[in-house]
């Protein structure tokens, strides 16, 4: 099997893998799906993702494929091309890894600005979404951003986190206060075309000297959410250079630094919902800061 054959017959890929007709090398780093590098007969490589045990949730890989294609269609930032989109497997072009550099970081800032400026028709997306292993309500809506963010991006994961005991009653009350404040929170930003899950692990520094976006939960959202998420979990290398370059070409609204914790709260709640109480203190800190921001 070479790439030309695979592109013409993507449905045959699982059979070739089952019968070990393709060299497969596991790739680490994924927290949800299992990843591998496949070396084809023509010497090229592709990157594949599969569910580690049994079948994935319905539409799981289709959501990622749709998001990758939507981000890629903007022509603004490097995004891997999807080669095979199957119910139990996603295959895309292999992007040779490299090292982060100041120049790549500045280019990423400008690329993200162009991506966000390409816009979205509404908050949400035309396909059912996932973020990590959890469903993401992408129902397109014209309601104001504050109400949408509270109802669709905070409340569902707050409920899951509370149900599994990852947050205490006091934690839930604190986040509820943020959600209530967002109901009337004013934001003049139009929907941006966003990655939606842009923590540092979803920026792939490539050998070509650029930063690629991978593993999206793509959606129409607030551009500050993408930028805020890059500061989570240790922070993106050269983040200040990314943000400065972004702000030069697509200036951010006044006070955006004060809103970072508000925008980070979504992804932190996703982590308590999916992975448990280890992220509880981060949720509390972000919710405390956010509640002061939206007073």
Taking only the tens place, the pLDDT of each residue in 95-136 is 999 999 999 999 999 999 999 999 999 999 999 999 999 999
249 Cβ neighbours under 8 A, 6+ residues apart: 109, 110, 113, 114
In order, the DSSP letters of the chain are --HHHHHH-GGGHHHHHHTT-SEEEEE---SSSEEEEEE-TTS-EEEEEE-SSSPPPTTHHHHHHHHHHHHHHTTSS--PPEEEEETTEEEEE---B----HHHHHHHHHHHHHHHHT--SSBB-SS-EEETTEEE----B-S-HHHHIIIIIIHHHHHHHHHTTSS-HHHHHHHHHHHHHHTT----PPPEEE-S---GGGEEEBTTSSEEE-S---EEE-HHHHHHHTTSTT--TTHHHHHHHHHHHSPPPTTGGGGHHHHHHHHHHHHHHHH-GGGHHHHHHHHHHHHHHT-
What pLDDT, in 10s, does the model give residues 33-57? 889 999 888 888 999 999 887 789 9
Q: Does 239 score more than 90 pLDDT?
A: yes
- pLDDT tens digit sequence for 169-227: 999 999 999 999 999 898 889 999 999 999 999 999 999 999 999 999 999 999 999 99
Q: What is the predicted pLDDT for the residue at 171?
A: 98
Backbone angles phi and psi of 107, in degrees to 5: -65, -40
CA 167 to chain centre: 23
Q: Could you give all domains of the chain from N- to C-terminal order, each with its CATH number?
A: 3-93 (3.30.200.20), 102-293 (3.90.1200.10)
**Do 229 and 197 touch, CB atoms closer than 8 A?**
yes
Least confident of 3-17, 222-236, 270-284: 3-17
Q: Which residues contact 282 (CB under 8 A, 6 or more apart)?
A: 268, 271
CA angle 86, 90, 95 (to 5 degrees): 150
Tokens (6 digits) for 31: 């927290």
Give me the chain's average pLDDT, please: 94
pLDDT of residue 23: 83
């Amino acid at each position: 099997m070479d790439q030309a054959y695979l592109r013409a017959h993507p449905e045959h890929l699982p059979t070739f893998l089952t019968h070990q007709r393709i060299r497969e090398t596991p790739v680490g780093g994924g927290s949800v799906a299992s990843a591998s590098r496949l070396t084809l007969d023509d010497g090229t490589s592709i990157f594949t993702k599969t569910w580690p045990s049994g079948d994935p949730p319905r539409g799981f890989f289709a959501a990622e494929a749709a998001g990758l294609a939507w981000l890629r269609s903007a022509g603004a930032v490097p995004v891997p091309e999807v080669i095979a989109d199957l119910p139990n497997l996603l295959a895309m072009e292999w992007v040779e890894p490299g090292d982060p550099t100041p120049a790549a970081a500045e280019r990423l800032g400008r690329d993200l600005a162009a991506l966000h400026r390409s816009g979205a028709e509404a908050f949400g997306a035309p396909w059912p979404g996932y973020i990590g292993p959890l469903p993401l309500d992408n129902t397109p809506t014209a309601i104001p951003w504050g109400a949408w963010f509270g109802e669709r991006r905070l409340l569902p994961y707050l409920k899951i986190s509370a149900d599994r005991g990852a947050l205490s009653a006091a934690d839930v009350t604190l986040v509820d206060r943020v959600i209530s404040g967002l109901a009337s929170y004013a934001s003049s930003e139009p929907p941006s075309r966003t990655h939606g899950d842009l923590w540092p692990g979803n920026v792939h520094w490539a050998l070509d000297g650029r930063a690629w976006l991978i593993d999206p939960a793509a959606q129409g959202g607030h551009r500050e959410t993408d930028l805020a998420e890059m500061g989570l979990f240790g922070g993106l290398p050269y983040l200040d250079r990314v943000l400065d370059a972004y702000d030069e070409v697509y200036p951010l609204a006044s006070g955006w630094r004060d809103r970072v914790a508000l925008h980070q709260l979504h992804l932190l709640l996703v982590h308590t919902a999916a992975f448990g109480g280890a992220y509880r203190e981060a949720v509390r800190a972000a919710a405390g800061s956010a509640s002061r921001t939206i007073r």
